[in-house]
């Protein structure tokens, strides 16, 4: 069965998407591989290894984590719900993006906390949960074995994902886990690459992308996009 997710993916024509997808080596709009930035070419084997896990998800942030569709719902209904939600009217978060290490991996994070983006993610978590099939016992056991606190286990059991609400942090993953003695080098290299590609431009979270992963061996791809209607 396919999995779906509701992500923020920058528009394909933007420097942010070109930067992030080039680091990962994967374009989640086309489903194709792309060449990495020249600044990463010194150690291609290292970057292949570091991006192997996040590559299959594409360059994104996660308002609603991957889920199997409930048997009582259809993809067409989910598409319609995404557009209806986007049209409700939202505060459009605008972030200053920076590269930081987060739990041992490199990611783009907001320079400062953004209540607007936290609120958007919380709404996506709750509203679209009606489309989520129940989590399997195997998936729950795998998640719990990763070492979750009490709040995260409660989120997992209620919403199918542990890192929500107070445990949510907006981020756009660029690598998998990096060994301790390489973390500063990896972070600094990605900071230089981001600055070169995107200058000091802000990042507006102005759309949602509905993603689909056809099976466990496939990568996520954008199948629908909805522009958020600004609140009046």
* Rounded distance between C-alpha atoms, residue 75 and residue 82, angstroms: 11
User: Which residues are within 8 A (CB) of 209 and not within 5 positions of it... i.e. 6 or more apart?
Assistant: 6, 7, 8, 9, 60, 222, 224, 225
* Rounded distance between C-alpha atoms, residue 106 and residue 175, angstroms: 5
**Mean pLDDT (whole number) for 11-34:** 97
Using DSSP, state whether 147 is helix, strand or coil.
coil
Q: Encode pLDDT of 126-136 as tens digits.
A: 999 999 999 99
* Rounded distance between C-alpha atoms, residue 66 and residue 78, angstroms: 13
Q: What is the pLDDT at residue 232?
A: 85
Which of these, 94, 93, 96, 17, lies nearest to 58 by C-alpha position?
Answer: 17
Q: Exposed, middle or buried, 38 (CB in 10 Å: 0-12/13-18/19+)?
A: exposed
| Total number of residues shown for the chain | 232
| HSE-up (13 A, CA, CB side) for residue 212 | 13
* Rounded distance between C-alpha atoms, residue 1 and residue 216, angstroms: 9
* Rounded distance between C-alpha atoms, residue 133 and residue 75, angstroms: 13
Which of these, 174, 200, 26, 23, lies nearest to 99 by C-alpha position?
Answer: 174
* Rounded distance between C-alpha atoms, residue 198 and residue 70, angstroms: 39
Q: Quick one: angle between helices 183-198 and 15-24, nearest 10? A: 150
The residue assigned the tokens 């990096």 is 178
| HSE-up (13 A, CA, CB side) for residue 32 | 5
Strand-pair category, 203-204 with 94-95: antiparallel
Q: What is the percent of the chain where pLDDT is above 70? A: 100
Predicted TM-score (pTM) of this structure? 0.96
* Rounded distance between C-alpha atoms, residue 51 and residue 217, angstroms: 16
Q: Encode pLDDT of 59-75 as tens digits.
A: 999 999 999 999 999 99
Q: What is the pLDDT at residue 140?
A: 97
Domains recognised in the chain with CATH numbers: 3-227 (3.90.1140.10)
CA 16 to chain CA centroid, Å, is: 13
On the question of pLDDT at 98 being above 90, the answer is yes
On the question of pLDDT at 42 being above 80, the answer is no
Q: Encode pLDDT of 164-215 as tens digits.
A: 999 999 999 999 999 999 999 999 999 999 999 999 899 999 999 999 999 9
Using DSSP, state whether 180 is helix, strand or coil.
helix
């Amino acid at each position: 069965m396919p999995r779906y997710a509701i992500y923020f993916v920058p528009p394909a024509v933007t420097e942010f998407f070109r930067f992030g997808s080039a680091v990962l080596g994967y374009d989640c709009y086309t489903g194709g591989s792309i060449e990495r930035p020249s600044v990463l070419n010194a150690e291609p084997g290292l970057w292949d290894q570091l991006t192997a896990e996040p590559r299959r998800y594409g360059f994104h942030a996660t308002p609603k984590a991957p889920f199997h569709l409930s048997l009582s719902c259809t993809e067409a209904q989910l598409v319609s719900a995404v557009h209806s939600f986007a049209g409700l009217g939202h505060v459009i978060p605008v972030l200053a993006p920076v590269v930081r290490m987060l739990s041992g991996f490199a990611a783009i994070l907001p320079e400062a906390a953004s209540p607007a983006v936290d609120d958007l993610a919380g709404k996506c978590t709750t509203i679209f949960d009606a489309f989520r099939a129940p989590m399997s016992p195997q998936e729950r056991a795998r998640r719990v074995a990763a070492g979750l606190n009490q709040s995260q286990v409660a989120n997992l059991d209620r919403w199918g994902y542990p890192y929500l609400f107070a445990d949510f942090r907006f981020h756009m993953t660029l690598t998998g886990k990096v060994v301790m003695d390489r973390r500063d080098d990896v972070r600094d290299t990605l900071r230089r690459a981001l600055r070169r590609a995107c200058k000091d431009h802000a990042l507006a979270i102005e759309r949602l992308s509905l993603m689909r992963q056809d099976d466990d061996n496939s990568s996520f791809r954008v199948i629908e996009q909805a522009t958020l209607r600004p609140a009046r």
